[in-house]
Amino acid sequence: MSKGMIARLMGGTVAAIAALGLAVSAQAQEKKIKIGVVYDLTGPLAGGGSDLHYLGAKIMIDNFIKQGGVEGYKIEAVYADAQSKPDVAINEAVRLIEQEKVDMVLGFYSSAQCVPVAARVEQLKKFMWITTCISSAVLENRNLKYVFRAQPSGSQFGEMSMDFIEKNAKEKFGKDPKDLRVAIIHEDGAYGVDVSKGNEAGAKKAGFNIVLKEGYAATAPDLSALVTKLKRARPDVIFHTGYNPDITLFHRQAREGGLKFSALIGHGAGYGVYTKLKEGLGNDVNYFYNVDPISIWETNQKSLDQKLLPLIKMVGEEYDKAKPGTTIRSAHVGMAASNTYLFFTEVLAPAIKKHGGIDPDALRKAALEVDVPEGGTMLGFGAKFAGEGSPVAGQNMRAAPVVVQYVDDKAYVVWPKSQAQKDAVLPFPAGTVYSAK
């Protein structure tokens, strides 16, 4: 072989090696995690709170994208609309995984969607991070390996509201708990049913007299029959779990029907979107209560990890840009932002650093190692997930809601006492729409 041929062969080899090196280098530089994000952007659930959770998650995802990603991985988000339909939510999750080739899915507002979607994602052996839906049925006794929820469960919501009323029965109503008449009404999907179970368990524990417990379809065009039953039952306190527009419909017909009672406790979802409540009911919303994780703008900032404060400020500013003129910032935006931030910082980053990447098993290992103390999230509570063998595997055992009261276009935490900003106004003041005085 001539020297020229050898030189050409060597040159070609060097060029091939160099090209291969560049390709490997480019591949290393282009490491990314592709996240499928699913919320209801259309349909009744969108205005009931899902669009606000989408906004909170997107604000936080965009923040990490601007920072260049996490531990060398760029972030690509692919957004999907569940259209307020469980079958669409399932199809979109599967499409994201099988066609868009996402590495995981994040989000989910409706519990009716979460229950079947979690089973399908688990079957496909992909990681699912739930920012929102709270039904215990999503995780309870299902032994899911790759599904994790940062949010409190629905039963906690129901029990919290009952505990609040029990502790205030004597002082505020002048009645022993056994003499307090309570009604539990709820939309009949997975969300409403789960919260109502917590309500019922809490009511029995407190010794309340349950005078009515009834579910209804969230899409029902008429709730006047329910109003009639409530008038006959004469409850002191109504515990309501619903979305919107069913909440607005119920209250309009309750007012028209002359229903009277002493307190109204809502449980997240539609009751967590004050703007919609006020838009539909005007001043009737004054003195309503809502049970939800605390708004990130209402947490005691002195008790929080101080590195979270600039993030809370940033989320608020982006919220105001997206929804100018908002009277009370909905806790929904902060919930999704906080729970999304928890994933990026406490699950994704350790999965890459300690467990070698972003595959479902690495993410699962990192999630099970999360140990965030109280004050370590923007929502104030900590994070520690139940593991294999637990009846609620994947649930954040340190998550907890609070009770908020709306007074004159402001929201105040009133329970538990450790976080209360103001004393609860109970019962409704004389002259308000539902007061018998």
Averaged pLDDT, 245-257 = 95
pLDDT tops 90 at residue 273: no
**pLDDT interval class at 29 (50, 70, 90):** low
Predicted confidence (pLDDT) per residue in 60-79, tens digit: 999 999 999 999 999 999 99
Determine whether 157 is exposed, middle or buried from the number of CB atoms within 10 Å of its CB (0-12, 13-18, 19+): buried
pLDDT tens across 191-222, in order?
899 899 999 999 999 999 999 999 999 999 99
Task: Choose between 10 and 230: higher pLDDT.
Answer: 230
Q: Is the pLDDT of residue 427 over 90?
A: yes
Residue 343 has pLDDT above 80, yes or no: yes
pLDDT at 45 over 60: yes
Higher pLDDT, 418 or 174: 174
User: What is the spatial distance between Cα 14 and Cα 18, in angstroms, rounded to a whole number?
Assistant: 6
Residue 125 carries which DSSP code?
A: T
Strands 74-81 and 263-267: unpaired
21-25, 301-305, 422-426: least confidently modelled range: 21-25
Instruction: Please give the average per-residue pLDDT across 315-339, as a whole number.
Output: 94
Task: Give dist(CA 371, CA 387) in Å, integer.
Answer: 13
pLDDT at 417 over 90: no
Give burial (CB, 10 Å; 0-12/13-18/19+) of 195.
buried
Is residue 256 within 8 Å of residue 233, measured between CB atoms?
no
Q: What is the pLDDT of residues 123-156, one digit of tens each?
A: 999 999 999 998 889 999 999 999 999 999 888 8
Cα 421 to chain centroid distance, Å, stands at 23
Average pLDDT value for residue range 46-64: 95
Q: Whose structure tokens read 């309009």? A: 252
3-state secondary structure of 362: helix
What pLDDT does 301 receive?
A: 86
- What average pLDDT does this structure show over 101-105? 98
pLDDT of residue 23: 42
Q: Residue 11 — pLDDT band, cuts 50, 70, 90?
A: low
Identify which of 186, 152, 157, 117 has the alpha carbon closest to the alpha carbon of residue 335: 152
Report the DSSP beta bridge partners of residue 107.
38, 130
Under the banding of pLDDT at 50, 70 and 90, the label for residue 2 is low
Tokens 């004393």 correspond to what residue?
A: 423
The CA-based dihedral angle spanning residues 106, 96, 192, 225, taken in that order and rounded to the nearest 10 degrees: 140
Q: Tell me the Ramachandran region of residue 141: left when phi exceeds 0, alpha when psi lies from -120 to 50, beta otherwise.
A: left
Q: What does pTM read for this prediction?
A: 0.80
The H or E element spanning position 35 is strand 32-39
pLDDT tens figures, 353-366: 999 999 999 999 99
Contact 204, 180 (CB under 8 A): no
pLDDT band per the 50, 70, 90 thresholds, residue 4: low
Asked if residue 332 lies in contact with residue 411, where contact means CB atoms within 8 angstroms, the answer is no
Q: What per-residue confidence (pLDDT) applies to 8? A: 54
User: Hey, what domains does the chain have and what are their CATH numbers?
Assistant: 31-152+302-369 (3.40.50.2300), 155-292+401-419 (3.40.50.2300)
Arithmetic mean of pLDDT over the chain: 91
Cβ atoms of 428 and 173 within 8 Å: the answer is: no
Cβ 217 vs Cβ 247: under 8 Å = no
- Asked whether residue 26 carries a pLDDT value surpassing 60, the answer given is no
User: Does 144 or 15 have the greater pLDDT score?
Assistant: 144
What percent of the chain is modeled with pLDDT above 70?
93
